[in-house]
Amino acid sequence: MMQENEIIGRTLGAVGGEGIALLGKLSESEKSELRVTLANFLVSAANENAGVTTGVEELPSGHDFKSILYKSAGPKTNRILTFAFKDAAVETVFPILGIALTIYAGKWGVATISQAGSVLKTLWSKLVVLKRPEDADAIDVINAIVRVRAQHVLGGLNGHPTSLELETNSGLSKDALVAALKTLRSRGVIEASSWGGQTDDMNQQGNHWKIKL
């Protein structure tokens, strides 16, 4: 279970050190926009039975977090919404969604966080069908893409990871990496931001990849 006030920490924290470092780079307004966008997505996913359920929890008296989602016609309360995922596999997808929104939008993207948030439902539907062990390599490549991209933006760069970087970061062999990239590209999860050689030559280690939003 995840409370709405835990969304940012749980999302970026799941990525490890890069996620925590990214959190430190966001302003309070950017954190708020990210939290609202992800929370609204979760509510929408719950309403559509897309692997998420919601509940209500009352925070201890004196807690300073104010719900952005809980609506009541009565007096103000400390109640907030909570979210649960139907299984562990679905739960592991949500941080990928959050980190992708962070590193491809706002100060590190061409759209605002709220604008990019409009495509989260489509990306979610493509990610939740990936399951271990059959899709293990594809999942590892997605995680490698967001990790390396996060490293880039933290270093002041705006480039996307190369196939060579993904091979190193994921620990996959070149052949396994190429096969996973082909699978993810055919499913519309990723796209090449630039080709290292001839267009559509998946074997080029200089190809650059990004999550497709």
Termini Cα distance of the chain: 27
3-state SS class at 212? coil
Domain residue ranges in the chain: 1-93, 130-213
* pLDDT score of 169: 96
Q: Which one of 1.10.10.10, 1.20.810.10, 3.30.420.10, 1.20.1530.20 gives the CATH number of domain 130-213?
A: 1.10.10.10
- pLDDT digits (tens), the chain, 213 positions: 888 888 988 888 877 888 889 989 999 999 989 998 999 999 999 999 999 999 888 766 655 555 555 455 445 556 788 899 998 888 888 999 999 999 999 999 978 998 888 889 999 999 999 999 999 999 999 999 999 999 999 999 989 999 999 999 999 999 999 999 999 999 999 999 999 999 999 999 999 999 998
* pLDDT score of 148: 95
Question: What token pair was written down for 71?
Answer: 């609506």
173 by Cβ neighbours in 10 Å (0-12 / 13-18 / 19+) ranks as exposed
The answer to whether the CB of 12 falls within 8 A of the CB of 22 is: yes
